[in-house]
Every structure is written in structure tokens, then in C-alpha cells.
Structure 1
Amino acid sequence: MTEENYNYRTSQTLLRNQFPGKGKWKIPVIPKFQPKDGDFNDLLLIGFDKTNLEDQNHLDRMVHFFLYDYRFERVWKNPEADIEKLSRYRAVLSPDFSMYLEMAPAMQMYNVFRNRWCGAYWASKGIRVIPTVNWGDESTFDFCFDGIEKGSVVAVSTYMASEHDHRKDQKEWFMAGYNEMLRRIEPERIICYNTPFPEMQGDIVYVDYERSSWRYMDYDQKAMPHEDLDCYKIGGANHTFCDTMDAYMIGKGGGSAYGGKWRPNPNKPQDQRYLGNPGEIKRTIMNNGDVYKTKMGPDGRAEMERHETNHNRGDKHTNPHDHRISWDNPDEHPVPGPPINYPNGAPEFKNFSEVFCMKEIIVPYGSMNFETISEFKRSINWGAEIEFEWNGAVFNIIRYGTDGKITIYAANKPETEKVCETADEALEYMVGDDRLRDIITKVHVVSRSI
């Protein structure tokens, strides 16, 4: 045996056995976090992919790994590389390697081991570490809580199980694992990234998902330092699209790898118009009096929608105009297409069946308002046409405006329009003296297509 081969086969890079483990699988134990005064006061997190050695403004945050795994595989492959950087922050959550329900059990166990090993390793280097807890179905309960001492502070995220993107079908999965975690670990505190469910018990430290995003940091994190570029590689291939992804849009971790399917939000009755009986037409009256007529296809999903308005831009839309509705996307949400205008008069809007049925939906005041910036961006990206009021003035945003791009303008004032490539660019529009990003969750939305 050569010296090189001997050194490799006995190295910790291969063996990973330097930390004592407990239980059948000898998963490494992360030492209990020792809280200090103020650790959990107005707590914010920072994604690992946004940390760097030059950062001086966010060192009071804790580092999280609620990100796609490829963004932090480096901490497993080369654990020494980030010690200096991570040690500068208030604390570090152990890396949240995914536990998707569809994963092979051996992979789920491997990811639990990697989570705990990295946490134990960082703790051995003097970094303050809080275990991140994740789980699959009940079959993972025999190992997914190993390596965490009873009474520890732990961290979880409700994002993948919550109502974002109209998904609610993974809450039952989350609560089953959460309650089992309470029983087995009896945590002292639970850091919850994203809004906790009302049913969640325990001493919960809520961390605001939106305020922890890079949009609310004090410097432009999009310019990543060279040392961090490796976190964007899989098999040596650069993923250039990462520069434009929302850093705080978590899309991984637990639950189903495919995500939940779209369903109408019960708090937004206007969503109900997209589903119905085959051949049915639903008539929706928006807060500003606009009327939308939505026609169901043979499968009971909307296939065409007529807007009896020109959205305060007669040069962009005829009154009425139609939109084809597409459902061809992974989570099967409705996507209104570009407007179909009728300068010479619109054809009759009728259903395909012999039995005509018209149901009416009157949209309650305030139910179309945006609760988060992410909700607004999702709406725009899905093809929305929006009208809102702010300080007595009316503004419109249309997904397919000038040159087929996002267009925002004061009502009936084409000279005020701004043509945007992205929803983020639209959020920089000045609504009077206010930037749209700063007020989008405060404006009154009077009409909204999706």
C-alpha cells in the first residue's frame, strides 16, 4: 500500500468518525447551544450563500442553510474552508441537507449524518451551533432526531409546508414530524424560519422570512465574492441562473421534492373562479367594479377569461379582451397568457356545453391585497394584471404591456409608464413619493387577475 493510499483511507475526509455518536447509527452529537443575553431578540438570519469575509453589517445574524443543497455542498466536501467566515457571525444553524419524502432511505440517513457531522465539527472549532431539524415520513423518525441532545435549542422552517404558492397540502406532514420532535428532543427553544403554524407548541422564536432576505440588507449581496462561487457548482458546472434567483426563495429541505399542487387560497375568494364544473362560466366582480368572466374547460379548470375593462390603457387592451389560461407548469397553477384584443368587436363569450351556468363571485374588500413582496412577485411572474390605489391615486401593472414586458403606470397616463424586465425592477417604480417596494403590502388592490 502506498503512503498516499494509506493516508486517504485513514483520513477524516473518508472516515468521518472523530465525533462520538449515539444510537444504532452512531450519528455525531451536536453540543447543546449555550444562549447569551439578547441572542433571540429581534433575530434575523442570513443565508450561507450571502456570507463573506468582508461583511461588517450583518454579523449579529445567525447563518442558515434553508437553501438548495448545491449552494452549500462545499461545507461537507471541504469543511475547513469556511471556518473563519462562519465564526464571525452570532451563530450558525447546522446545514439543512434535504430530507425529501421521495428520497431513498439511505440518502435521508446520510443527510442527517452530514447535518450533525458538520454541526459537531464547527462546534469543535469554537463556533456556536444550533441544530437544524428536518424529517421525512414516519419511517425516518428512528434516526432523524439523533445527534441532538434533549433540551437543545433547535431550528426548523415552515416554508415548504406553508401556504406559499397556494400550497397547504404539506402541513400535515410537517406537524407530524414537529410533534415527534417535541416528544423526543424536548427543545428549550425552537427557532422557526417563516410563520409558525397556530398548532405549533413550544417556546418558539419567530424569524421573519422576508426581513431576513438580502433585499433588507445594507449592501448589494448579488455581487458574490470569488471565494463563494464554488457553492454554485454541481459536478463542476457553473449555474449562472443563481445570480438571478431570489436568495430568500427557499425551495428545498423537506416534504415532497415536487412541492404541493396549486389550490385556491381560502382567504382569497377570487381564486375560486379558476376551478368549477365543465362548461361553467363564473362572473367575478372586482373592488373597482371590473367584471371578469371565466370559462371552465372539460376538466373543470379555467381555459379562457374575459376582462370587461381596458385596465386604464386603451392602447394596450380593448374592452373587453380575453386571456387563455394555461396550467402547464410543475405545480399546476393557472397562468393567464397575453391579452387577445378585439379592435373590431369581441365575439360572444359562451361555454362549450348546451347547459349554461353562470356563477357570481363578489370579491370582498381587501382580500386581493398583497401580504408579502414575494406574493406580489409571484403574481407578476404568473401573468397578472393589477390595479391598486395609493394616496388617492390609481395605478396599474400589466404583465404583457409595452413590447410584451411588465409595464407599470398611473391610470390613463401613458407618459408615466415604466417598462420592466422583472418584478424586482417594477418594485423600484416611484408611486408618487414612495417606492413601490416599500408600500406594496400597504396599497389597496382593487383588481387583480392572479
Structure 2
Amino acid sequence: MLRKSKSPYLRDVYLAYLIDGAGRTETDGFPIIEEWMVSTEPPKEIIQWDRRCDVTNPSETGMSFYCNDPAFQPILGNPKAYTEKLRKYGLIIGVDASPYDNMPLWVQKSQIGLNLGITYYYGSQGIKVIPNVRLGDNRTLSSLEAYPHHTLIAIGTNGFIKRTDNRYIFAEQVQKIVDTLEPTGICVYGPVPDEIFAYVRLKGIPIYQYDSYTMKENAKDRERRFSQGDKDERK
């Protein structure tokens, strides 16, 4: 016969353990990323989670989540189970569950809250992080209260700036991020077009640019086509 537990079983469906001990923002109650959690140095390379097999030197790598959300869904559902797997990397870039601007506001804020909660948790476990600043529409600007000032931050641009109208919105948000957080540097995963980052350069803030996996593959394709064309000309 099974013994009945004296304490009730509690299922942590909200993953409340992620933000145990965290300060909260005044506007939305988001967990606040602490300055001591943030790496003071940018990584030598940034790799996205679904290409982690490409990592050659984990201690010099920043592991990011700049890939389709399903690729890191298991981490979103059970962050604790991945703590030791992520600890081997030099640092992690904050989680990047997508708060698209066409989502209802509550969904955007929920996604941002999940990003912040998991990033805070890994930081509290002694893993160095660089906060990934990811906004939805302009109604989510209050989430900037959750990020430390005068530290490194990360921004992913890959896939977000193909459309002209998106570039204008992105540029405006980058300016607001810079004015609010006054970062010591920005790690950018993807292209750094001047129409988006001119203000950052004007402010004298260092930009550390990392080619995305897509950019690397496109470069390989161009090189292969060039090599093939050169061979054809020699025939």
C-alpha cells in the first residue's frame, strides 16, 4: 500500500522557480536581469542552438537561440534540465522566444516574460549571460525596465529587416534601447545595416557583429558559384 504524502503535490505549471528571488519591474512585474549576471566581454563567436554541432571551442562560444522557436521548445518547457548542458559554453545569449508585433499584447508580453525569466534563471545559476533585448510592438517598451544599464546587450537582426517598413520600426526601437539602457556594447547576430545602427555608431557604442548561420551558408554558396564559374572559364 502506498503511503500518502503529508504535503500536497504542487505542479509548477508557471515555472515560478525561474524567477525565485528576482526583483520585478514596476510596470509589468517582469523579472529584472542583474548586472552581475552579465558577461563583461563579448564572445569570440555566437552559434545558434540548432547548430550547436558546429561549436569547436565551447568556452569561447556564446550560445544563442536565434533560430526558429520549435528548435529550442524543449528548453522553454524545462529550462532546469538544460542548465548543465549550457554551462559548458562561455556564456549564453538571452532566450529569444518570438514576441511578434501582430500577436495580441498579452501574448507579446508573455513571450518577453518567458525570455527574461529563463535568462534570469540561468544567470542565477552562475552561467554568464548577455541579455537579448527583444521587443514586440511599441507597447512592450516598458520591458526595458528589466534590463541592466551600462552592460553588454545582444540583438538579433537575421530575418527581421528584409522589409523596408520593418527596418524603420527596428531602427526606432534600437534608438530607444540605446537611449534607455546606455549599453557598453551591442552583440549583433546578423547584418548591421547603417540605416538601423547609424545611431549606435553616432553614440560611439561598440558593435560586435557575428555572421548568422544563414549568412555563412550564403557566403559558401557564393564562393562555390564563383569557383565553378572560374573553372568553366578555364575550359
Once residues 71 and 99 of structure 1 are traced to their aligned partners in structure 2, the CA distance between those partners, rounded to angstroms, is 16
Counterparts in 2 of 1:172-191, with a 5 A limit?
172-191=168-187
Shift of the alpha carbon at 1:72?
A: 1.1
Aligned pair in 2 of structure 1 residues 51, 6: CA closer, same or farther (>3 Å)?
farther
Query: RMSD over aligned Cα, in angstroms?
Result: 3.2
Shift of the alpha carbon at 1:126?
A: 0.6
Match of 1:91, as an amino acid?
A: L
Is 1:29–2:32 an aligned residue pair?
yes
Does the Cα contact within 8 Å between 1:156 and 1:192 map onto a contact in 2? yes
Instruction: Indicate the structure with greater helix content.
Output: 2
Instruction: Indicate the structure with greater strand content.
Output: 1
1:208 is aligned to 210
Shift of the alpha carbon at 1:373?
A: 4.5
Shift of the alpha carbon at 1:11?
A: 7.4
Once residues 19 and 210 of structure 2 are traced to their aligned partners in structure 1, the CA distance between those partners, rounded to angstroms, is 37
1:101 is aligned to 101
Shift of the alpha carbon at 1:12?
A: 6.5
Does the Cα contact within 8 Å between 2:152 and 2:183 map onto a contact in 1? yes
Q: Deviations over 1:392-414 (max 9, x none)?
A: x435xxxxxxxxxxxxxx76xxx
Does the Cα contact within 8 Å between 1:51 and 1:85 map onto a contact in 2? no
Once residues 14 and 141 of structure 2 are traced to their aligned partners in structure 1, the CA distance between those partners, rounded to angstroms, is 28
Does the Cα contact within 8 Å between 1:161 and 1:168 map onto a contact in 2? no
Q: Secondary structure at the match of 1:146?
A: helix
% identical equivalent positions: 21
Once residues 64 and 111 of structure 2 are traced to their aligned partners in structure 1, the CA distance between those partners, rounded to angstroms, is 16
Shift of the alpha carbon at 1:56?
A: 5.8
Q: Secondary structure at the match of 1:29?
A: coil
Q: Deviations over 1:356-397 (max 9, x none)?
A: xxxxxxxxxxxxxxxx7417759x9xxxx999742xx435xx
Once residues 5 and 208 of structure 1 are traced to their aligned partners in structure 2, the CA distance between those partners, rounded to angstroms, is 50
Shifted more, 25-34 versus 105-114: the winner is: 25-34
Match of 1:179, as an amino acid?
A: Q
TM-score by length of 1: 0.44
TM-score by length of 2: 0.79
Once residues 110 and 91 of structure 2 are traced to their aligned partners in structure 1, the CA distance between those partners, rounded to angstroms, is 24
Shifted more, 108-117 versus 188-197: the winner is: 188-197
How many residue pairs are counted as aligned between the two chains?
221
Gaps in structure 2 of 5+ consecutive residues: none
Once residues 191 and 209 of structure 1 are traced to their aligned partners in structure 2, the CA distance between those partners, rounded to angstroms, is 11
Once residues 394 and 193 of structure 1 are traced to their aligned partners in structure 2, the CA distance between those partners, rounded to angstroms, is 35
Shifted more, 133-142 versus 177-186: the winner is: 133-142
Gaps in structure 1 of 5+ consecutive residues: 211-247, 251-371, 396-409, 412-450
Q: Secondary structure at the match of 1:62?
A: strand
1:127 is aligned to 127
Shifted more, 199-208 versus 183-192: the winner is: 199-208
Counterparts in 2 of 1:255-294, with a 5 A limit?
none
Once residues 124 and 4 of structure 1 are traced to their aligned partners in structure 2, the CA distance between those partners, rounded to angstroms, is 31
Does the Cα contact within 8 Å between 1:194 and 1:206 map onto a contact in 2? no
2:232 is aligned to 394
Shift of the alpha carbon at 1:48?
A: 1.7
Match of 1:63, as an amino acid?
A: M
1:8 is aligned to 10
Once residues 109 and 68 of structure 1 are traced to their aligned partners in structure 2, the CA distance between those partners, rounded to angstroms, is 19
Q: Secondary structure at the match of 1:206?
A: strand
Aligned pair in 2 of structure 1 residues 71, 79: CA closer, same or farther (>3 Å)?
same
2:189 is aligned to 193
Shift of the alpha carbon at 1:22?
A: 1.7
Aligned pair in 2 of structure 1 residues 50, 149: CA closer, same or farther (>3 Å)?
same
Once residues 195 and 104 of structure 1 are traced to their aligned partners in structure 2, the CA distance between those partners, rounded to angstroms, is 28
Is 1:89–2:89 an aligned residue pair?
yes
Shift of the alpha carbon at 1:73?
A: 1.8
1:374 is aligned to 218
2:149 is aligned to 150
Q: Secondary structure at the match of 1:187?
A: coil
Does the Cα contact within 8 Å between 1:44 and 1:207 map onto a contact in 2? no
Q: Secondary structure at the match of 2:79?
A: coil
Query: Larger C-alpha radius of gyration, 1 or 2?
Result: 1
**Could you say which structure has the greater relative contact order, defined with CA pairs below 8 angstroms and 6 or more residues apart?**
2
Once residues 191 and 184 of structure 1 are traced to their aligned partners in structure 2, the CA distance between those partners, rounded to angstroms, is 17
Q: Secondary structure at the match of 1:155?
A: strand
